[in-house]
Amino acid sequence: MEFFIPGFCILFVTVTLSYFIIPKATPLIASILSVIFLLFGVYEHYLLFASEYRLSTWQEGLKAYAPGVMIFVILIFIIYSIFAFFTNGSVPIPSMPSIPSMPSIPSKNAVTNAIMESANGISNSFSNTKNALMNIKPTNTNKNKNKMSTSFLETI
């Protein structure tokens, strides 16, 4: 009974406040009051549970090592990138599918003949370009194929 009457009084006061006063307040006042109540609630919560937050996680002891771990991981990534850049890796290039030339259809229409000639010309120029690109041989002027070059130190 000792918790019922004070709780009932608080409920009655809040309902009365909500019914008569809050509808007359502007949105600016409502937002200011909500920010104030939120900050008050966070402050009270932190005061109540400060010791639990301080002792709750096992990661708190490792927090001091986080910058060193991140720097180490970034350095490993950079060194791996340098090794990958200076090694003699090759990427396989798949061959392009052949495009057959358009069949010539005799037509009495000049527009159709022009379209067929341009399509055949595009097809032929594409196949010539493909053949020219397939005949390009990569040139490797690096004398140190599997070794680090002197520019390794320059990149660091």
What's the pLDDT tens digit per position in 43-65? 999 899 888 877 777 777 788 88
Residue 23: pLDDT above 70?
Answer: yes
Burial (CB count within 10 angstroms: exposed 0-12, middle 13-18, buried 19+), residue 20? exposed
Quick: pLDDT tens for 76-105: 999 888 887 777 666 667 777 777 666 666
Q: How confident is the model at residue 4 (pLDDT cuts 50, 70, 90)?
A: confident
Would you state the torsion angle of the CA atoms of residues 118, 123, 129, 135, taken in this order, to the nearest 10 degrees?
Answer: -150
Closest CA to 126 of 91, 154, 101: 101
Q: Is 86:149 a contact under the CB 8 Å cutoff?
A: yes
Instruction: Enter the pTM of the model.
Output: 0.29
Quick: pLDDT tens for 98-140: 776 666 666 567 777 777 777 777 766 666 665 555 555 555 5
Q: How far apart are CA 123 and CA 85, in angstroms?
A: 37
pLDDT at 156: 52
**How many residues appear in the chain?**
156
Residue 74: pLDDT above 60?
Answer: yes
Q: What are phi and psi of 124, to 5 degrees?
A: -70, -40
Quick: pLDDT tens for 30-40: 888 889 999 99
87: alpha, beta or left, given left = phi > 0 and alpha = psi -120 to 50?
beta
Domain range annotation of the chain: 4-55
